[in-house]
Amino acid sequence: MSVHRLTLGDVLGEHRRGRPLGTAVVDGDVRLTYPELDDRVGRLAGALAADGVGAGARVLWLGQNSFRVLEMLLACGRLGAIFCPANWRQSPDELAHVLDDLAPAVVVWEESEAVEKARGQVSLDARWVASGEEYEAYVRAALPAPETEVPADSPVLALYTAAFDGRPNAALLSHSALIAHSMALLHVRQMEDGFTFLACGPLFHVGTMMFTLATFQIGGTLVFTPAYEPAEVCRLIEAERCTQAFLFGPMIDGLVEANKDRAHDLSSLRFVSHSPEWDKMITVDDSPWCASRMGGYGQTEVGGMLTFLGLGMGGAGYAGRSSPLVHVRLLDAEGNEVGPGEVGEICARGLSLFSGYWNRPELNEAKTAGGWHHTGDLGRREPDGTITFIGPRLRMIKSANENIYPAEVERALKSHPAIADAAVIGVPDDRFGQSPKAVVVLAEGASATAEEIIEHVRGEIASYKKPRHVEFAESIPKKGYTPDYDALDERYGGGAYPGA
């Protein structure tokens, strides 16, 4: 066995010895020390192995957040198997796609009509375990799995993302990639001994998962709650003295509102400055992650973050600089590097990168052309070396031979005081090929005409980038945290993108 080996199981083994008294997980009434977690993981691995889960097999979780997500990941890691926590609130059709695509040997599920329907739609030879008492009995009855040698570069986590062809694909992340990403996050976030993370965002998204894993990496404490619920989040932060939670903008506003009577002491939270009320409740942190207000560029395929604003503070680029364990190139369609100031596809290599998508050999080959992972997103190196994220390559608008990037136009639109939210699509145009159309949500009580808005953008960026059409809407449909451009195209007549 290589003296260089380091798997998630090795990390857990070290915590069992190095932190025998340390609290690993808190979830409702459940509190486990690291040795207790390791014991459960061993027995769960034994149960999975008895159901035929070995190297390369898949295990699926369909449910809310739970400490069981972590222990299932670790148990799969011990067997060389792949664990996938998937969004259980999808439609039966979407869930059936996941079941069909992943073909898991074991599914642990929380009771739900949609899951039951999906189960009926597919022919799948899997063991189904209900996530509550049945799961506990499943673990309890098993004998611990013997230690096996698992290569650190074998995939252990699958996260569904990137629906290139209308169906999401499962990005596979290896032990090595997850550990490397955790190290980058430990560095930028300056996570110290005793770090306690409240996983109140969905664990099937890389954003919550990456902090869960970084906390695990240093033997911190993980506090799980089924979903974001402001009052309960406040209670948990106080009760467990959490140092961080998965929170951003509107979620923080929700906590400020829920805690406006200051019933809960949130001062253990060392986090991002947000508003005067919030800053008074917490301890504002000056780590590069918090001081930069958590900026950067990332995607599931790179393990989370590829660049951190905190590594390029004061720089011109909105995405900062690359994580210390990756390297980035901006490439043109032929794979040649573009110069500073020019727009190219953000391509990357490094230790935290994924191992391709499950079951997509052709897509994987295309995404790694020339030995670089192609993110599908466009970016630009500023003269100071920092990186600006421009937008998805497939969403580039071509108008009269000029390239227009929706994100840039959206930034200009949002700088108008009357505009609360905005998204830009390309609509077919007989004369120019395409022309940009803005979909705009006005701020409450504010007003602005299409002409005023177009004029405003013209004052902010090059004239040819200004929208030729403006539509007013009640809201922008979202996919996670970004506009749902497919839905916008459908509703507002988008199309003819040259890259698509």
Q: For binding to a second copy (CB under 8 A), which residues are involved?
A: 1-6, 10-11, 13-14, 17-22, 153, 176-177, 179, 182-184, 186-187, 190-193, 217-219, 288, 310-313, 321-322, 324-329, 340, 348-351, 353, 368, 371-373, 381, 383-387
- Least Cβ distance, residue 82 to a second copy (angstroms): 17
- Least Cβ distance, residue 333 to a second copy (angstroms): 19
By C-beta, is 111 or 384 nearer to a second copy? 384
By C-beta, is 66 or 176 nearer to a second copy? 176
By C-beta, is 257 or 384 nearer to a second copy? 384
Q: Which helix (H) or strand (E) holds 472?
A: strand 469-472
- Least Cβ distance, residue 67 to a second copy (angstroms): 21
* Contact between residue 170 and residue 159 where contact means Cβ atoms under 8 Å apart: yes
For the stretch 142-146, contacts whose Cβ atoms lie closer than 8 Å and that sit 24 or more positions apart, written own/partner, are 142/43, 142/44, 142/46, 142/47, 142/50, 143/43, 143/46, 144/39, 144/42, 144/43, 144/45, 144/46, 145/42, 145/43, 145/45, 145/46, 145/48, 145/49, 145/75, 145/78, 145/79
Q: Which helix (H) or strand (E) holds 128?
A: strand 127-130
By C-beta, is 252 or 328 nearer to a second copy? 328
By C-beta, is 113 or 334 nearer to a second copy? 334
Alpha carbons 21 and 422: distance in angstroms, whole number: 50
By C-beta, is 19 or 119 nearer to a second copy? 19
DSSP state of 394: G
By C-beta, is 3 or 333 nearer to a second copy? 3
Alpha carbons 376 and 161: distance in angstroms, whole number: 13
Q: Take residue 408 and report the two structure tokens written for it.
A: 């840039």
Q: Take residue 53 and report the two structure tokens written for it.
A: 């889960």
- Least Cβ distance, residue 75 to a second copy (angstroms): 18
- Least Cβ distance, residue 359 to a second copy (angstroms): 18
DSSP 153-220: TSEEEEEEE--TTSS-EEEEEEHHHHHHHHHHHHHHHT--TT-EEEE-S-TTSHHHHHHHHHHHHTT-
What phi and psi, each to the nearest 5 degrees, are found at residue 445? 80, -5
By C-beta, is 345 or 489 nearer to a second copy? 345
- Least Cβ distance, residue 32 to a second copy (angstroms): 16
By C-beta, is 350 or 436 nearer to a second copy? 350
DSSP state of 93: H
DSSP state of 357: B
CA 328 to chain CA centroid, Å, is 19
- Least Cβ distance, residue 287 to a second copy (angstroms): 8
Q: Is 284 exposed, middle or buried (0-12, 13-18, 19+ CB in 10 A)?
A: middle
By C-beta, is 1 or 333 nearer to a second copy? 1
Q: Any residues with CB less than 8 A from the CB of 414 and at least 6 apart, and which?
A: 421, 422
By C-beta, is 92 or 324 nearer to a second copy? 324
Among the listed residues 463, 488, 464, the one whose alpha carbon sits nearest the alpha carbon of residue 475: 488
Among the listed residues 106, 101, 169, 107, the one whose alpha carbon sits nearest the alpha carbon of residue 354: 169
- Least Cβ distance, residue 311 to a second copy (angstroms): 6
- Least Cβ distance, residue 365 to a second copy (angstroms): 12
- Least Cβ distance, residue 372 to a second copy (angstroms): 7
Q: Which amino acid is at 344?
A: G
- Least Cβ distance, residue 337 to a second copy (angstroms): 9
Please state, in angstroms and as integers, the Cα–Cα distance from residue 437 to each residue in 408, 430, 447, 468, following that order: 13, 15, 19, 6
